[in-house]
Amino acid sequence: MTMNRRDFLKISSAGAAFALTGCTTQPGAPTMTARAHVVVVGAGFGGATCAKYLRQWGPNIEVTLIEPNELFVSCPISNWVIGGLRTMDDITHRYDRLPRHGIKMIRDSVIGIDTDRRIVKTRNGASIAYDRLVLAPGIDIRTDTVRGYQEAEAAGKVVHAWKAGPQTALLRKQLEAMPDGGVFVISAPTAPYRCPPAPYERACLVASYFKRAKPRSKIILLDGNPDIASKKALFQSAWKELYAGMIDYRPNNAPFAIDGDKMIVSSDFEDVAGDVLNVVPRQRAGEVCNLAGTRNDSSQAWCLVDLATFESTTVPYVHVIGDSVLSNLPKSGHTATSQAKIAAGAIVELLAGRQPDPHPVLANTCYSAISDSRAGYIANVFRYEAGKGYVSQPEGGSTPNGDERNFKFAQAWAKNIWADVLD
């Protein structure tokens, strides 16, 4: 497959990428003779998108979407809240438009999955049968991998704020309360983890806030990776040009312990004291994947799937999408929506007794703000090739510097993708 730059930009832009289906079935295609039932667990970027497109492309399919939270809180743009550029209201949305697509929404938690009988059990006592199951639970934060973390978190001494919500607001309040001249300690977990550029974006936006409000304050960024994991040129240029002397970057320095009383983070090399601690531990596929037995990589942490359909390689009739998947694709909100559409299209085909597209295409565009007015991006289109995984197509790449135009594009991207997921 080849494409010119114009075609690439059409596909990779936030709005146009929503048209990628990953299947040959389109609205109006032949419908199933029997009414099949698909249960989707998790209504984040992946799950909500998958449920919506299952109904659009398979109008005779019954779709049940199970989500414990009342509101959708977006992880993309949540760093803008921490940096003081947006509020929690700006990234919080309701689910009330999804049922208009014919989706049955259940506010509940899944506590058991019988994959032999194909039944999902919920905390409120429901037993829900399925023909196909889609798991989109996101990530679990492995707080048990950092000694003292759980006690310090319970005491409000440390937060990860890696799941947008109450901890996002709490971290913002802690930064506001920190005295000028204080130290903010943030860590980036060892890959793989949700949103590779997010720790570095967070450091930039907190530095931007400090520059305006607490100019004598410093940031220490402890990275569990040997180097900046994503958009290296963008962040290095920002740290040099905008925040010289403010951000102390220390690679190969993953925290293994926290003393919440002394406010000290310990790594193999040093003890680091801070006034605000934002330690982000390692991660794994959400717990519901463990219930279904789909955490099946060598570490029993992530989910291996058939990347043409996102069906588990070990548990039939169960598909996994989003951050829980282990692949060569980035764990991002846009990737999750693209995977959701490929999975939805594949499920429609499988339920109709047809073969899904063997070479689906997906897009990922990710913006990172580096200040209160500048941002950069990375954008790629990927095509699945058996034996190779998703292969990046020509013309993709990232910006080496941030600018005001891309800051505006980042805002538009967020509005468009939220609409695609929830409207």
Residue 262: how many other CB atoms lie within 10 Å: 10
Per residue in 244-300, pLDDT (tens digit) is 999 999 999 999 999 999 999 999 999 999 999 999 999 999 999 999 999 999 999
What does the pLDDT read at residue 19? 37
Lowest mean pLDDT among 63-72, 115-124, 171-180, 387-396: 387-396
Tell me the average pLDDT across 131-147. 98
Q: Would you say residue 4 has pLDDT above 80? A: no
Label residues 225-251 b or e (16+ Cβ within 10 Å = b). beebbbbeebbebbbeebbeebbebee
CA distance 151 to 289: 26
Q: Greatest CA separation found in the chain?
A: 68
Per residue in 190-203, pLDDT (tens digit) is 999 999 999 999 99
Q: Would you say residue 180 has pLDDT above 70? A: yes
Helix H or strand E encompassing 311:
strand 311-312
Contact in structure between 38 and 61 (CB atoms under 8 Å) = yes
AA letter at 153: E
**Strand ranges of the sheet holding 62-66, from the earlier edge strand across to the other edge:** 104-106, 62-66, 37-41, 132-135, 318-320, 311-312, 305-306
Q: Which structure tokens are listed for 82?
A: 């921490």
What does the pLDDT read at residue 233? 97
Per residue in 62-112, pLDDT (tens digit) is 999 999 999 999 999 999 999 999 999 999 999 999 999 999 999 999 999
Q: Which structure tokens are listed for 22?
A: 């990953």
Q: Would you say residue 3 has pLDDT above 80? A: no
Beta bridge mates, 222: 187, 250
Query: Both ends of the chain: CA-CA distance in Å?
Result: 32
CA distance 370 to 372: 7
CA distance 307 to 38: 19
Tell me the average pLDDT across 295-321. 98
Q: Which structure tokens are listed for 138?
A: 């996101």
- The rounded mean pLDDT for the chain is 93
Contact in structure between 201 and 222 (CB atoms under 8 Å) = no
CA nearest 406: which of 212, 231, 144, 287?
231
Residues in the chain: 423
Structural domains of the chain, ranges and CATH numbers in brackets: 23-140+283-358+415-422 (3.50.50.60), 145-278 (3.50.50.60)
